[in-house]
Amino acid sequence: MLDRLRDVLHQYEELRLRLCQPEVVGDPAVYAATMKEYNHLEPLALAYQAYETAQKQAAEARTMMDEESDPELRELAEEEWKTMTAEAKRLGEELKILLLPKDPNDDKNVIVEIRAGAGGEEAALFAAVLYRMYTMYGMAQGWRAERIGANETELGGFREVSMTISGEGAYSRLKYESGVHRVQRVPETETQGRIHTSTVTVAVLPEAEEVEVDIDPADLQIDTYRASGAGGQHVNKTESAIRITHKPTGMVVECQDERSQYKNKDKAMRVLRARLLDLQRTQQEAQIASERRAQVGTGDRSERIRTYNYPQSRVTDHRIGLTLYKLDGVLNGDLTELTDALITADRAAALARQEEERTSI
């Protein structure tokens, strides 16, 4: 591990020098790529430098403990040794986490697809609640949320709704939301006060670049039609809505939120690329060992991952057994505590697998 860290530090120092060179500064594309690589290595390089410093100071304190004859100075040296030894141990654990293989999709924007499951209109209403929750969470993170398309109900719910969330690290935090979300509450239409259970499925897909997914135009069937829903005269007169069918897979994507047919087509293609990339990734993961498929971060979307209980103001994430009694806060976009706990559990599982692989060699 230390050899690898020394290589990282050397590479980091080289990049720092490159960023000062005129030929790099003068080329925006090269500068941006170099800066991105520099920023990627910086947390690991700085943590390693701090680790080396702590190790050095601990060694110096140990030497003073062994050689110093003055009891007070020896006691001070012992305290310094204990402090620096503990700090080195903490930084060593941090370095193990930083050295874990990074999900290549973590820095990507995402497409979130929310669909009402069991529960009829009540499920559709809760789909709207989750749509609002993710929108508010995105805003709190400084991300930009944009609706792509929706199938609305008369009571203001969504049979299905999709959105893009753009911003640094969007996928790294939102990927834990994929799965079945269960709600327990008394519906507005319930006259006897009985608690109903409904479900909503959420799919979080990393947005694919065009170069990542090769789509043959001959494989696409593109249809236009008139948008439905609110929109006044535009709805009745303009065939701006787009339906794209990917013939090899049978995937169908529709978009009608924009007045421009071109914009709707662009949004629909973004969704299609993301779905095809997700399909490729799923097929690859199916060939990987079962313990890797069981990790927290990429749970099966058919699996119930979380319950929102309104009477008890309770949110429970079933993957890690975490229960919070702050339902209002969560539904208003405060997902930080949940997400941080999921990231910690995911890293712990990855470290355990790494240690198991190391000891089995």
As separate numbers, helices (DSSP H) first and strands (DSSP E) second, the chain gives 11, 11
Please give the Cα distance from 177 to 182 (Å, whole number): 12
Q: What is the structure's pLDDT at 334?
A: 95
Q: Are residues 224 and 270 in the same domain?
A: yes
Please give the Cα distance from 124 to 152 (Å, whole number): 8
Residue 360 lies in a domain: no
Q: Which residue range(s) make up the domain with 248?
A: 217-283
Q: What is residue 158's DSSP assignment?
A: E
Q: Are residues 204 and 227 in the same domain?
A: no
Q: Are residues 265 and 222 in the same domain?
A: yes
Number of domains present in the structure of the chain: 3
Q: Which of 33, 67, 98 is the last residue of a domain?
A: 98
Decide if pLDDT at 202 tops 90. Answer: yes
**First-to-last CA distance in the chain?**
16
Q: What is the structure's pLDDT at 46?
A: 92
Q: What is the structure's pLDDT at 258?
A: 78
The total number of residues written for the chain in this structure: 361
CA of residue 253 relative to chain centroid, distance = 23
For the four alpha carbons of 318, 324, 330 and 335, in that order, the dihedral sign comes to negative
Q: Are residues 54 and 137 in the same domain?
A: no
Q: Are residues 85 and 55 in the same domain?
A: yes
Q: Which of 98, 131, 148 is the last residue of a domain?
A: 98
* Beta strands 179-185 and 196-206, pairing class: antiparallel
Place of tokens 């599982």: 349
124-149 pLDDT per residue, tens:
999 999 999 999 999 999 999 999 88
Kindly report the average pLDDT of the chain as a whole number: 85
215-260 pLDDT per residue, tens:
888 888 988 887 765 444 444 456 778 889 998 888 898 888 777 8
Q: Are residues 221 and 201 in the same domain?
A: no
Tokens (6 digits) for 242: 């787009």
Q: Are residues 74 and 163 in the same domain?
A: no
The CATH number assigned to the domain holding 182 equals 3.30.70.1660
6-25 pLDDT per residue, tens:
888 898 899 999 999 999 88
Q: What is the structure's pLDDT at 294?
A: 43
Q: Does residue 169 contact residue 102 with C-beta atoms inside 8 Å?
A: no
Q: Are residues 137 and 270 in the same domain?
A: no
Residue 103 lies in a domain: no
Helix (H), strand (E) at residue 147? strand 144-152
166 phi and psi angles, rounded to 5 deg: -115, 130
C-alpha dist (Å) from residue 92 to 52, 204, 341: 10, 33, 21
161-192 pLDDT per residue, tens:
999 999 988 999 999 999 999 999 988 766 67
Residue 357 lies in a domain: no
Confidence of residue 291 (pLDDT cuts 50, 70, 90): very low
Residue 127 lies in a domain: yes
Q: Are residues 275 and 204 in the same domain?
A: no
Q: Which of 258, 283, 308 is the last residue of a domain?
A: 283
Q: Are residues 145 and 35 in the same domain?
A: no
Residue 361 lies in a domain: no
Give one DSSP letter per residue of 259-301, joined into a string.
S-HHHHHHHHHHHHHHHHHHHHHHHHHTTS-HHHHTSGGG--T
Residue 306 lies in a domain: yes
Tokens (6 digits) for 154: 């008369």
Confidence of residue 29 (pLDDT cuts 50, 70, 90): confident
Residue 130 lies in a domain: yes
Tokens (6 digits) for 255: 């978009």
CA of residue 16 relative to chain centroid, distance = 29
Please give the Cα distance from 172 to 108 (Å, whole number): 8
Please give the Cα distance from 339 to 322 (Å, whole number): 11
Q: Are residues 160 and 189 in the same domain?
A: yes
Please give the Cα distance from 186 to 259 (Å, whole number): 38
Residue 251 lies in a domain: yes
Q: Does residue 175 contact residue 135 with C-beta atoms inside 8 Å?
A: no
Tokens (6 digits) for 202: 């959420």
Decide if pLDDT at 295 tops 50. Answer: no
Q: Are residues 228 and 251 in the same domain?
A: yes
Kindly report the pTM of this predicted structure: 0.67
